[in-house]
Amino acid sequence: MNLAAPAAGVLATRGTVRELGAHVTGICFDRAGTQAAFALGDGTVHLAEVTGPGDWPRIEAHDGAVLALSPDARDHGFVSAGDDGVLQRISAGCALSEIFSTGGKWIEQLASYAEPRAGLLACAVGKQVHLFDSQGIRLKVLAHPSTVTGLAFDAKGKRLAASHYNGASLWFTASKSDNPRLLEWKGSHIGVAIHPASDSVVTAMQENALHGWRLADGQHLRMTGYPAKTESLGFTRNGKWLASSGADAIVLWPFFGGGPLNKPPVELAPIEGVLCTRVACHPKDELVAAGYVDGTVVVAQIGAQRVVVIAEPGPAPISALAWSFDGARLAFGSEQGQAALVDLSAR
């Protein structure tokens, strides 16, 4: 992707901005690339057509806050969950259909994997992970030693990683035996990512650090030095870099040339004294978008270390950030409900 967009005024010339009125808890695009969904702390989900400014229909999706949002395992539509304990599908036409209800226990984590024949949905309810097929039929319930704090499918939908106290569990989604590979490291792990080539699994930890396991030999990978907790992390598409929040810059760990063992991270788009709260790696190129606690949003080109400011400081911390699957659009939202959808495609 070419970062040819002008450094100033991207939002004004190529963006659609809305005040949604509540904490933006999650953003994602559908797989077909036609819609973006914004989930809020007031229980609503707003759907934006990517092609035009238009209205963003407001859907009363949950009683309480929407705690998790994911693209559906199909081309169109979304899946959301909330503190009402309901997991439901939101169609492109704004129709709701319940997949599952816990009877009130919060659903805080969601992940989906799409493939024509075998899409998968996973949600965490306390210590259990419920795995569904793309039709919403429950395939199995996976038990963990403590509450699951993060979920991630690998790039092929073969494995599912779940973070929890003292490490992470790595499940084979199609396995009949249902014994996970336990990746152990003492402490509270609060989020998880899988390398796109499934080389390693990385978790964020309560102690302002990341912990990784190289899957081939179980080698521990410690990544430390953050001033704050990492609440957002992800690999670039080619697996060379792991981007993370939790410092006053985007922190990128090299996963090549022997890294991240004994290799320092690269820091991009530093804003002194301003914490990065969200990162999102571009689905194709070596680009990473980042949101900051002061409302700034940037896109940084990793190799060239070029940075384009998408949004100037705003009223509230950036709380959600996502790329469309084709990488042409970026959406973000803040703790006070400012939301934007930006077209970054070459023109």
Partner 1 sequence: MSDLIPVTVLTGFLGAGKTTLLNRILTEDHGRRYAVVINEFGELGVDNDLVVDADEEVFEMNNGCICCTVRGDLIRILGALMKRAKKFDGIIVETTGLANPAPVAQTFFVDESVRAKTRLDAIVTVVDAKNLPARLADSAEAAAQIAFADVIVLNKLDLVTEEEADAVEARILAINPLARIMRATRADVPVTEILHQNAFDLNRILQFDPDFLDQESHGHTEGVYSISIEAARPIVMQKFQEWMGTLLQEKGQDLLRTKGILNVSGESRRFAFQAVHMMADGDYIGPAPEGDTRASRLVFIGRDLNRPQLRRGFEACQVPA
Least separation in angstroms between CB 64 and partner 1: 6
Interface with partner 1 by CB under 8 A: which range of 105-113, 114-122, 261-269, 279-287?
105-113
> Is there binding between residue 259 and partner 1 (CB under 8 A)?
no
How big is the site for partner 1, counted in residues (CB under 8 A)? 35
Q: Which is nearer to partner 1, 23 or 130 (CB)?
A: 23
Give me the half-sphere count of Cα atoms (radius 13 Å) on the Cβ side of residue 141.
7
Least separation in angstroms between CB 207 and partner 1: 5
Interface with partner 1 by CB under 8 A: which range of 61-69, 191-199, 212-220, 305-313?
61-69
Single out the residue of 51, 105, 138, 178 in contact with partner 1 (rule: CB under 8 A): 105
Least separation in angstroms between CB 72 and partner 1: 23
> Is there binding between residue 42 and partner 1 (CB under 8 A)?
yes
Q: How many residues does the chain have?
A: 347
Least separation in angstroms between CB 67 and partner 1: 6
CA distance 223 to 238: 20
Least separation in angstroms between CB 102 and partner 1: 10
Interface with partner 1 by CB under 8 A: which range of 144-152, 264-272, 278-286, 297-305?
144-152
> Is there binding between residue 21 and partner 1 (CB under 8 A)?
yes
Single out the residue of 30, 108, 154, 248 in contact with partner 1 (rule: CB under 8 A): 108
> Is there binding between residue 23 and partner 1 (CB under 8 A)?
yes
Contact indicator for 250, 271 with CB cutoff of 8 Å? no
Residues 6+ apart with CB under 8 A from 323: 29, 280, 281, 282, 283, 289, 329, 330
Single out the residue of 25, 88, 112, 173 in contact with partner 1 (rule: CB under 8 A): 25
> Is there binding between residue 311 and partner 1 (CB under 8 A)?
no
* Binding pattern for the stretch 195-234 against partner 1, x by CB under 8 A and - elsewhere: ----------xxx--------------------xx-----
Single out the residue of 51, 97, 146, 345 in contact with partner 1 (rule: CB under 8 A): 146
Least separation in angstroms between CB 338 and partner 1: 15
Single out the residue of 138, 140, 186, 220 in contact with partner 1 (rule: CB under 8 A): 186
CA distance 315 to 326: 30
Q: Which residues bind partner 1 (CB under 8 A)?
A: 21-23, 25, 40-43, 63-65, 67, 83-84, 104-106, 108, 126-127, 146-147, 149, 165-166, 186-188, 190, 205-207, 228-229, 335
